Every structure is written in structure tokens, then in C-alpha cells.
Amino acid sequence: MEEKKLSCVDCAVTNCNMQEKAYPAFCLTTHMDEKVLAEAMKLYEEDENRRSMIAAAEVEHDYYLQYTRIEEIMAYARKMGMKKLGIATCVGLIKESRKLAEILRYNGFEVYGIACKAGTQKKVDIGIPGRCNAVGANICNPILQAKVLNEAKTDLNIVVGLCVGHDSLFYKYSDALVTTAVTKDRVTGHNPVAAIYGADFYFKKRFFPEK
């Protein structure tokens, strides 16, 4: 049996944050590939990466426990000089995306959005099994969403409720930086962390059926 390779998700110390305790024997900080670390640090010298890290740190510091996620997105965009914001939305959250667009526009941003079903293409035409038509015959089209926002030359794209996997493809093909305003989870009212908090209680049988 192959030995389990431990990583940060197996650690409860997080000494890498405060540096007040001993590092675990398997710590990635003390066992870091120095070449990989150097490559990562070198990339922060690129203008967009450097500006993004500075803006993110300032937003965290200046508005910690004060701003909602939406306010943080606007603050970050302003610090980055971003004026045209794209919204990639699930059609099931179009009401929420319309309100988000209203908020962003009121606060001085130009907004351009595209819904996942735009283009109206059939699932079966790209090889999706016909049984999936039970929840709708048309595909969600995250690659199209990314390409449309690329054509619109948005400065920052905001994801609102794209499905698991669809969001992955949107991130992959977006030219602009992407942040997420809403992560879809219909069971928890789009609050996925609730399932983690309840993993040993309300959701235990879902995740650990034999435990």
C-alpha cells in the first residue's frame, strides 16, 4: 500500500502563519522545493500580479470585518483601476445578478453580463447523455461566457452561481482576472461552507455513510 503523503490539509498547526510553534514533520514550508518557491515569487514581479497582491492585501487590511464580499470586490476593482466588470451568471441566479449589476453601476462601474444558457445550444450535440435533459435540454456554456466577456474587454469578471465544472471552464478561458461573488449550492441556499460545518452533524450521513 502506497504511503499517504501528508500536506497542508492534514495540518492543524498553521505555524506558517504566525511562526510561534514548531512546524509539523511533514510541513510543506520546511520541505518546500526551493525552485518552485523561487518561480512563484518571481511571478509577483509581473505588473498585474504585483498590483493584484497589493490591492488584495490593502482591501483585507482596510476593511477586515467591515465590508461584505460585494464591497470588497468593488474596493479591489477600484484599487486595480478596473472600470468595466463582467458578470458570468447562472440563469437560476439572474435576479441576484441583476441586483448585483444595479449595485455596481450605482457605484460607478460599467457592467456587462452573460448568462450560462446564452447561445441556446443542445446538450446532446456536444455528447452530453440524453438523460441529462431532465434538468433542461440546453447546455450551460461557460466557454462562450468567457469568450463573450473577452470580446467585451472586461477588466474583471465576477462569477455568480456557475455550476461545478462550468465555473472551472470559465476560469480557464477568461482573459480577465476572475473573482467569485456566489458559489452555487442549492441545498444550503448557496452557502457551501454550511455543509462543512455540519459534516459531523446534519450532513454526516451524506459524507461519512459508514462512519
Q: What are 23-53's pLDDT values in tens digits?
A: 999 999 999 999 999 999 999 999 999 999 9
Q: What are 108-133's pLDDT values in tens digits?
A: 999 999 999 999 999 999 999 999 99
**pTM (two decimals):** 0.94
CATH ID of 69-211, from 1.20.930.40, 3.40.50.2300, 3.40.50.11840, 2.120.10.30: 3.40.50.11840
Whether 3 shows a pLDDT value over 90: the answer reads no
DSSP secondary structure, the chain, as one string: -PPP---GGG-S--HHHH--SPPPTT-TTTT--HHHHHHHHHHTTSHHHHHHHHHHHHHHHHHTTTS-HHHHHHHHHHHTT--EEEEEE-GGGHHHHHHHHHHHHHTT-EEEEEETTTT--BGGGGT--GGGGGG-SBPP-HHHHHHHHHHTT-SEEEEESPPTTHHHHHHHH-SSEEEEEE---GGGTS-THHHHHTTTTTTHHHH-TT-
Averaged pLDDT score across all residues of the chain: 96
- pLDDT over 90 for what percent of the chain? 94
Q: What are 74-110's pLDDT values in tens digits?
A: 999 999 999 999 999 999 999 999 999 999 999 999 9
